[in-house]
Structures are given as C-alpha cells and as structure tokens.
Structure 1
Amino acid sequence: MVIGLSMLAGTTSMLSCMDRATAQQDQQIKRIVTPPPAAQVLRARSSGSLLALDAIITGPPLVSGEAVIELNIDYTDSKIYNPATGDYDAVRLRSYKDAKQTAPAKVPFVAPTIDISPGETVRLTLRNLLKPENENCPSRDGKINTPHCFNRTNLHSHGLWISPAGNSDNVLISINPGVDFQYEYNVPPDHPAGTFWYHPHLHGSTALQVSSGMAGLLIVRGNRPPTSQSPGDIDTLLKESTGAPYPERPVLLQQVQYACRDASGKIEVDANGAYACKPGEVGGIESYDQFGPGSWPESGRYTSVNGEVLPLFPGAQAGRIERWRIAHAGVRDSVKLQFKKMRPGVVYGQLADAKAQQDWVAANCLGDPLPQFAIASDGLTRRKIAQRQTTVLQPGYREDLLMVFPEAGDYCVIDDQAPANANINADVKSRKLLGSVNVGVGNPPGSDLRAFVTAQLLAAADRNVPVASRQKVRDDLSNDLRLTSFAPHLDMSDTEVKGHRQAADLRIGGTGFGVNGVPYDPTGAPRVLILGSADEWTLTAGVPGHPFHIHVNPFQIMEIRNPSHVDVSVDGEADDPQYANLKGEWRDTLFVKAGYTIVARSRYRRYVGDFVLHCHILDHEDQGMMQNVRVAIPDGAGGVAMNHH
C-alpha cells in the first residue's frame, strides 16, 4: 500500500502507517541514481607519461594518443532491490570490474563507462577470471545454436565505426577462462561523437552474460566545430553560458533476469507465478530457461536504471536543459519512456506486482507527458531534433534527449503501455514505473518548451560556433530545429546505390531461429559486400518482430511500410510512435515489426573483414538468428578479389 504523506494523522494506527511510509521513503532515498562508475582510463602522450581521464578531458584536446583500459570478468556477490518484497535479493552474477579500482562498486552489475576521443588508439585488456568448469561447454547436443560455453566471452563495441578484424572489434573470437586478451581500437579522427555501448558477444552465451549486467556505456566525446567542408560534433554546441557542457544524465537500462532454484533445479515462483527467492537463497543466471517469449514480464523482475530499481534522479533544476544519454542494454523487453509530473507528497514503496505499478502510476503520475527533444539516435546526431512525448527503446537502442523540467517538484519516469505488435514480447504491455526525478527551484522556462529550447540553442550557437559557420547553424535551428551542420553522414542518393540489393528476413521457422530461413553457421559462406560500394536493403521479420542490428556500418532509413504498404517513417502510427520522424535518419539497430518492410541504404567505407548481422533479442541471436558478413576488396571487374598468399 502506498500512502500520501499529507494524509497521515496522529492516531496509533496512522502512526504505524507513517512508520511504513517513512521506511518506504528511506528506501527511495537510498536508491539514488548515480552515473555508472567511470573507467580508469590512462592516456599516453608523446612524452610517455600517463595521465588520468579528467586531466585529458579538461586539458588541451588530443589529436592522437593511446587510451589504456583494463577490465576483469568474474562472479560478483551483491544484492538487487525487489519491490515485490520491499527488500533486497542476494545475487551472484558475472560482471565486468575495472582492474584498477580497489573499492567495491556501488552498483557492481553496471560496467564502467568508457570515454574516448576521435583519433585515439584504445587498448582494452580483458581478463577472463571465470572458472573453466562449465557443464554447458560445449553444448550438450553438440550444435552451435544451442546456448553453451557460458564462461567464455569476448567484447563488442556496439556502434563504433572501427575495424571488425584481428584484435579490433572482432566478435568471432573466444576469450576462454584464464586468458587475457588486449583489444586495439584505432578510432578514426573523423569518428562521430556520440553515445555507444559495449557488451559480450560470444555466440551461445551473449544473452546470459548481458542479462547478468555485463554492459557499459562507451561515449565518444568530440571537440570539432562545424566547417563549410565537414560536420561538427554536437558536443561543441551543447554548452551553457559558463562554457560548461549541458548537465548530462548517463542512463543504462538493464534487465537482470535472475532466479532462485529449488533442489531439483526448477525456478522458484510465488503465488502469482513471478520469480521468487526465499531468505538465504542466492539468485543467478545459469540457464536459458530464464529467457524466451513472455519470460521477462512473467518473471516479475524490474528494469534497472544504472543498477538501481525504482530509484530517484536527484539534482535537476527547473528551466535547465539536461542531456540524457540513454542506452537500452536489456535483453528482451521494450521500454516506452515518458516523464509526467508526480502528485505532491507521495512515495512509491512496495509495488508488489504489475497491477500495483499500473494503479500507482494512474493515480499519481498526472497530466500530459513532458516534451522530449531527441538530438541523436544510436549515437548519431539527427538531421533535425525530433520533439516527442514518448521515446521507444528496443534492446540495443541509444537515444540522446534534451530534457527541460518546467517547474520544481517530483516527476515520474514511466515505461508506458504498448500494443502487442509494438514490443518484443508480443503481448499487451502494461504501464510501469521506472523511477522519479527530483527537480529543484530554478528559472521557469515558460509554457512553450519548444520555444525555450530553440532560444537556448540559438544563444549557444552565438557563443560556441565559429563565425564562418554560425549563420548556417542559426538558420537551421530556426527552421524546425535542424542540425544538418552536426549530422555525421551524408544522405544516400539513388545514383550512389549501384543496383545491388540486400535482403535480411529475421524469423523463427521450421528450421529454428534464422536469417533468410537459414540458422547461423559460422563455417558457411558469408554475405559478401564490396568495399566502396553501397546497397539498398530490405528488412523484414516474422512474429513477434525482431530488432535488426548490423556491425561496423550504419544504415539510412528510406521507408518503413506497414502491412497496408503505407510509409509510416514520417508520422508514425496512432497507437505506436516508434517509427515517427525516422525517414532519412541513420541507425545501427532497428525493430522490424512483423508484417512491416523497412527499406534502408548503407555504404561500406574503409574497413574490410568479417563481422555479423543479427537479431538483438540476444537469446534469439544465441539460438541462430545471426549471419556472417564480409566486406571484401573489389577486383576491378564487378566482383571481389580472391584471397592470396
């Protein structure tokens, strides 16, 4: 039961209620959203000296150099708050740990945030400290698409535009227990600044490890202003009058689907069928029976925010623009993000189940959702800011939002309801609470938040954009909040596509999970793309719909046709806003609804080698919904050059 503090009075029974409400409020105060821990990054200058990250970010910009990072992978014992019981569950899960940090992390199942710059060489050493004993390695039936080898791993820098070969972003290697491996990412000087993330990507164990919390933000910070020849980094615009960047909220959404098991190995549940752990039991993730269609809502687990469940975001001020960098690092649930004003004087303590959440949100989260101003998707700055009330995040997505809270008070952070065809689990999604934001007294921005944001960005352009580019930036912002001077990729023209066509159909069929009807075969012939060429892709998916993701090269969305062949990439749909304002934008991950057709274009520049495309419902990937891709050197006659020695 949740009680408004203003309703409490002085009787004995009411004092008991007050005690409970105070305890609930204390729990909220303890679960404060803090940024994920910063990775201890060392950088080498030409002198050979090593400097910490903050010395570089605040000092002279680096043209080139080395960033050195060390991560360990091991089991971690900790606890996760469970609103169903109002208490914490003990858990033992695989996690990333910064090898240089000695103090225990506040939220151990959130990997350190890695900050890098364009032009750097990033050397990341991964140490697999997990035990070699694992009953699932190799797979019990000897098949590659049966989940297996849960203690083997590797690392994928999701969204980075770097080489997929050798010891760069190579997801086709295995780092076994007891092995240290150093990745080397040569980040090009023209790499877009933006919000990316990293996670394990070894076929057969990806979902299990990511669901354990093995995921972290990877932020590329840029300092290049726009010029007449090249786009600039949006970071150079988003600064306050003091010269400080807009306040940032790094937000890592995770879905840690831990379970406790009885003596026979069966998942323990409560009277409602939700996962339950008895006192003294320790939850874990050791089997793929914890994944599958509908398993996330049935589990009763909660989407966490930077490792905290139902937490409070502190420190916002009315009328101050914030940049929310959001990454969906979950495995198989959609998030439909909204912000609403919260009824004064209420707390959200023990919300026992989905219905309790739904009822609490309906009673206490008031009015229309606040406007959100989306400046980037999947780390790539948009051609123009998209104003929306709802941001739909599917697994693998990133969104950068500018948020303005109009007045002091508390605000609900909501995962709103959605129809069955709009979300990963293919069932009607109920409304949930993710947390709250506490907003202090500031400078009221007025009732027209779009006009306020426009005025603030124009003033920022006057302060921060060089004179030669300033008028164009101002004209763009004044024309429907356009950001063409900061968009990193040129539009793809009809003439650029040389007649090549690529098709990717993600579905579950008679042969199991597959792409174009074929389950993943690591030894089979890869899809071959030609370096320097460009293709138009047709993306389709079977029930329940699947998020398509391809490594290395992003794609530009040309059309999204619904089953009636209507393009919904401009206005979206009445019951589902997720495709609105996507025409012409660039992504690396996109949910393909069953029965819909997405037409996208991609160019293949600079990097050759083998990588993958796959469904980002990660247990689908582990069971075969993945395909090898190869970018090869042209032979000068319309084909590709053969390998030679």
Structure 2
Amino acid sequence: MTNRTNRPPTVHQPSVPEVLGSSRWEFSLNPHAHRPATVVAAALVPLALALALASGCATESRRGPHAHSTPSSAPPSSVSPSPAITAQTTSDLRDPAEAVSRGGLLRTTIVVERKKVPLAGRDVWALTYNGRYMPPTLRLRPGDHMEITFVNKLDNQTNLHVHGMHVSPAGNSDNVFLAIEPGKTYRYSYAFPDSLEPGTYWYHPHPHTLSAAQTAGGMSGIIVVDGLDQYMPASLRGITEHVIALKDFQLVGDRIKTQDLKMGAPTTRTVNGQLNPRIRIRPGETQLWRLANIGANIFYKVALPGTTFHVVARDGYPVNEVYAADALVIPAGARYDVLVQGPEAGVTELQTLPYNTGKAGNQFPRATLATVRSEGAPMRPAALPTAFAPVDDLAKEPVAGRRTIAFTENADGTLFYINGKQFDHNRVDFRARLNTVQEWTIRNDSDEVHSFHVHTNDFQVMSVNGKPQVNRGFQDTVDVPPRGNIVIRTRFLDYPGRTVLHCHILNHEDAGMMAVLQIDE
C-alpha cells in the first residue's frame, strides 16, 4: 500500500465518453459458495448487447429537489408493507456472479430496469441491474480502469455511484450530479489510482430525492478491490471467501415498496438476495467474509453466537491491527471484511441483533440472516494475524481548516438539514484545497443516530463525544450518536471537483441532509 502522506498528487481528468469496443467475457462454471479468492469472471450481460449500444446521453440536473416524476408502476404510498418473510434454510449461499478486470481493464454493461425476479420464494417486481436483484460483483485491482456502458430503462432518471472509492468525482467518473434520463445510455469511465485500498466497496444510484427509492427497490451491488492477500500470512492466502451482501426489501403485494418508505416498517432481510441461505464451513477452517450493508436505510448488528469476527478491513481500508468483535453494527453503506473460523460441528444462526437508533429513531428487531453449518473433517485453526497493513495517521498533520457540520431535523422527522440548510446542488456549502488536511466536527442535534458519509476521500475518526479514538485505519461512513458529536480529519488527494457529504440513511439524504463540497486545486 502506498503511504498517502508522502505521495505526490496525480490528477485524472476524464476523457470524453467513447463508444465501447468489443470485449471477451468468461462465465463462471461454479457460481456457488466455496471458492478461493481468485475467481473466474462471469459476464454482466451478453456481448451482443454491449456492441448494440452506440449512443450516450447525460445531463447535469437542473431540476428542483422534487421535480422527479413518480414511477407509474409504483404502489400507492399509503399501503403498508407485508410482514417480514422468514423461512428455514433450504439452499447454500450463492456468491454473486462476477465481472473481473483483465489486463488492467474492467469493461462491462449495466442495464437498469424494472423487472419481475424470483425473490424469497416468489416472483416480485424489483428495480434491477441486468435483470437481477443481486447483480454481479465488479472485481478489479488498484490502478485498473473501469468502463461501464450504463443503460437506463426506468421511467425516471438515475445515475451510478461507486461508494467509498477514491476516484475523480468529475466528468464521466464518479459524478453524482449527472442525470441519466429514461431511455438513454451513458459511458462511465473510471481511472483508479495505484493507491486504491484493497477491500469491499459497492455501487448504487445517487439521484437526489430518488436514491432511497431506487436503492430500496433493489439497485445495489458489490465491488471488490483485490489485494488483501498481501497482508495475510502465507497460510491464509487464497482462503475461501464469501460476499455477505445485506439487502432488505419491504413487500406490497407482488412488488417491492419504493415510495413513502418507513425505516421501522416490516422488512425482509436477505443475504446475496437469498432468504436464510446455508453457509458451509469446516470446524476450524478460516474464511474471509465480506459483510456489506448495501440497503437504503436500516441498520444491522451482525453476530454469529459463539464465534468472533476478526476485522481485517473496514469500508475498503485495511486495518493496521486486526481486532476482534463479537458483534458489528453496520449502518447503511458500511462494510467490514472479517476472518471467521469454523466453530465445532453443528448449526449456528448468523443473526442481526436488536438495535435501537435513539428515542426519536427506530428499534430494529432480531432476525436470522443465514444458517452456518460447520461440518466435515476438522481443520487445525490457523494462527490469525495481529499486525496487518500500514495506515496513515493525520493526528500530527497540520490542519488547514476546521469546519462544523450540524445534522438537524424538523419535529416530525420529515425534513433534514445540514447547518440549517437543505440540499441545493447549485450551492457550494464547504470548500477544501488539494493536498491539505481539514478537521471537521460533525454534530448530531437530534434524538436519533445519523450516519455521516463523504465521497472521494475517506477520513480518520479522531474522537467520539470527546473520547479519543484508536486509529486502526480510515473509513467512509460513521455513525454520529444522538445529541453527540464526532471529530474527523481528512486529506484531499488527487482529485479536484465538486462532490458531496451526507447522511447515508438515504431517506434522510433525499429529504435534504446532503451538502456540496468543492475541492479546489
């Protein structure tokens, strides 16, 4: 890993979108669970579709915050969702198919459409990427390029955000101010730096006022940046890994509810789009699990009773010291890469435990996520690493500026603000300069948890409610306690441009809790 502290800046200016040429697709013959960290690619869509797409269109949105039309097929907003669906385990966990970079390039197509898909034992109308509720994982390496032909077949505008990734926020890269209109095709192009951290990221839509609806409807998938093996002891390189993508949906009839979402309403939780799948492991075996909350709003407190998670990366950033946790609170957008060692032979439930977000927030009940079956010939448990990856430390860096960011909401919990203002894409709320460090105090002046997230550059948490925090590595999402505060420091590297910070409870973001950050050269 390149030490970001002493690295000279490299600015990437995206080129004009180009029509994509041909590519070679390889299909995985085994999309199921037990596989090593090096995998075979599976295509997102057939090559014929990619070659047939020849026109591109994207515009900067000039609409007001409520100018988007409501999907004609959406259920009435007043309808309450059905009770959460539960089931006994019936099938093994299926890791998502993958599109993998070859020769430093990942070239693929993503088609966005509303489609009926098999989900939780029934056929359900969902918002999909390439016709799937759980779309393929995009897998690449630091320094790679990624080119995506993005086709919008929805009735609404949309766009694409690569959450947590250090890449340009401008042009046809990770630009959340783009609006891909219905029926249009756009070419995204990303040039990732060699210093991109290995770990787990994800992709989802980010059109203001529609982010929650589209993500809750099913539009989210995983991105994996390879490279964690370089920090593993030899005995743990190439071990079995699993994506554990946590997605939930509220069901009304035969369709996923996307309008008038209530965080505390009954919701069905899935892993990789499966209801209570079976995860197989041998007693004593060590596996790498990529725990990722890629839903719109809700929290998870994940635990495997009797087994400890050993965290090796958080939010796509490897830790400097592996640490143990019996349970992990994972807000929407956050990820943990963990080592898990198989318990004694038997069956254990992977659970989300009860979690309360505050007296003005929501109480999330316990639920079963998956069933872990430990079976087969026992293995001698491997010695787990302690020291891991080098990390930056901004504690002694000169601070170029200090900012206070206050999260507030109205009494009804229907409108949300940053520093007393609702989001306006035409207004710059905060400024920073490349190659400087700023210290931000994020204050939560409400009675419920808010999740702070910033695009383009991740951050170091310095303190929570005045208590200094151990620096195990940077992150991109952090909870701010009710009536409390956190202090973070962030360095602005490589990429000038206009980007955003917001609460990653997408209901709150869509209702105004987002601000514009301008990074100047």
The verdict on a shared fold, with TM-score over 0.5 as the criterion, is yes
1:84-483 pair list within 5 angstroms: 88-97=121-130, 108-131=132-155, 151-222=156-227, 234-238=228-232, 241=235, 245-260=238-253, 282-287=254-259, 289=260, 291-295=261-265, 299=266, 301-314=267-280, 316-340=281-305, 369-421=306-358, 426-445=361-380, 453=382, 455-457=383-385, 481-483=386-388
In the alignment, the residues of structure 1 paired with residue 89 and residue 263 of structure 2 have an alpha-carbon distance, to the nearest angstrom, of: 35
Residues in 2 aligned to 1:599 and 1:124: alpha-carbon distance in whole angstroms: 36
Alignment of 1:469-618 (within 5 A): 481-483=386-388, 486-487=389-390, 489-498=391-400, 500-509=401-410, 512-541=415-444, 542-561=446-465, 565=466, 567=467, 569=469, 583-618=471-506
How big is the shift at 1:30? Answer: 3.7
Equivalent in the alignment of 2:94: 34
Distance 1:244 1:503, change over 3 A: same
Instruction: Report the AA paired with residue 96 of structure 1.
Output: Y
Deviates more, 1:116-125 or 1:602-611: 116-125
Cα deviation, residue 174, structure 1:
0.3
Q: CA deviation at 1:38?
A: 1.3
Provide closer, same or farther for how the CA distance between residues 188 and 599 of structure 1 changes in structure 2, counting only shifts above 3 A: same
User: Please, which runs of 5 or more residues in structure 2 have no aligned partner?
Assistant: 1-86
Distance in structure 2 (CA, Å) of the matches to 1:169 and 1:555: 18
Letter in 1 for 2:147: R
Q: CA deviation at 1:526?
A: 3.4
Q: Determine which of 509, 516, 519 is the counterpart of 1:621.
A: 509
Does the 8 Å CA contact 1:72/1:129 hold for their aligned counterparts? Answer: yes
Q: TM-score, normalised by structure 1?
A: 0.64
Provide Cα deviations, 1:124-158, integer angstroms capped at 9, x if missing partner: 11101224xxxxxxxxxxxxxxxxxxx21000000
Once residues 322 and 392 of structure 2 are traced to their aligned partners in structure 1, the CA distance between those partners, rounded to angstroms, is: 17
The residue identity in structure 2 corresponding to 1:491 is: D
Partner of 1:228: none
Equivalent position amino acid for 2:272 in 1: N
Q: Deviations over 1:41-91 (max 9, x none)?
A: 5xxxxxxxxxxx5xx4xxxxx5xx32211110111112322xxxxxx3432
TM alignment of 1:4-43, pairs within 5 A: 28=88, 30-39=90-99, 41=100
- Kindly provide the CA deviation profile for residues 618-640 of structure 1, in whole angstroms up to 9, marking residues without a partner as x: 0111111100111002xxxxxxx
**2:501 touches 2:517 (CA, 8 Å); kept in 1?**
yes
One-letter amino acid of the counterpart of residue 134, structure 2:
V
The amino acid across from 1:235 in the alignment is D
CA separation of 1:420/1:613 partners in 2, compared to 1, >3 Å: closer, same or farther? closer
Q: Name the amino acid aligned to 2:307.
A: L
Change (3 A) 1:320 1:284: closer
1:420 and 1:521 mapped to 2: Cα distance? 27
SS, match of residue 421 in structure 1: coil
The alignment partner of 2:249 has SS state of: coil
Instruction: Supply the distance in 2 between the matched residues of 1:293 and 1:508 (Cα, whole angstroms).
Output: 16
Closer, same or farther: CA 512–313 of 1 in aligned 2, 3 Å: same
- Contact kept? 2:166, 2:456, Cα under 8 Å: yes
Deviation at 1:28, TM superposition (A): 4.3
Residue 69 of structure 1 corresponds to 108
Q: d(CA) in 1 for partners of 2:325 and 2:364?
A: 20
Task: Sort the Cα spacing of 1:252 and 1:376 in 2 relative to 1 into closer, same or farther, 3 A.
Answer: same
Residue matched to 2:28:
none
Compute the displacement of 1:444 (Å).
5.0
Provide, for residues 204-226 of structure 1, a one-character-per-residue CA deviation record: whole Å limited to 9, x for no partner.
1111111111111111113xxxx
d(CA) in 2 for partners of 1:435, 1:187: 34
What does the per-residue CA deviation read over 1:22-48, in whole Å, with 9 as the maximum and x for residues that have no partner?
xxxxx7454431001213x5xxxxxxx
Q: Secondary structure at the match of 2:358?
A: helix
Partner of residue 364, structure 1: none
Q: How big is the shift at 1:246? A: 1.4
**Bigger Cα Rg:** 1
What is the alpha-carbon distance in structure 2 between the residues aligned to residue 420 and residue 122 of structure 1? 37
How far apart, CA to CA, are the structure 2 residues paired with 1:408 and 1:130? 47
Q: What root-mean-square deviation, in Å, do the aligned CA atoms of Structure 1 and Structure 2 show? A: 2.1
Q: 1:114 aligns to what SS in structure 2?
A: strand
Amino acid at match of 1:166: G
In 2: Cα distance, 1:116 partner to 1:516 partner: 38
Secondary structure at the aligned position of 1:235 is classed as helix
| Structure 1 residue 237 displacement after superposition | 3.6
Amino acid at match of 1:332: N
More helix by share: 1
Partner Cα distance (1:198, 1:495) in 2: 32
Q: 2: distance between equivalents of 1:527 and 1:258? A: 39
The sequence identity of aligned pairs, in percent, is 29
What secondary structure is seen at the aligned counterpart in 2 of 1:587? coil
Deviation at 1:429, TM superposition (A): 3.6
Alpha-carbon separation, structure 2, partners of 1:456 and 1:375? 10
Shift of 1:235: 1.7
C-alpha distance in 2 between matches for 1:608 and 1:323 = 35
Q: Work out the number of aligned pairs and report it.
A: 432
1-structure distance, mates of 2:117, 2:462: 46
Instruction: Give a deviation string over 1:588-636, Cα, whole Å, max 9, x none.
Output: 0011111221111001111100011011110111111100111002xxx
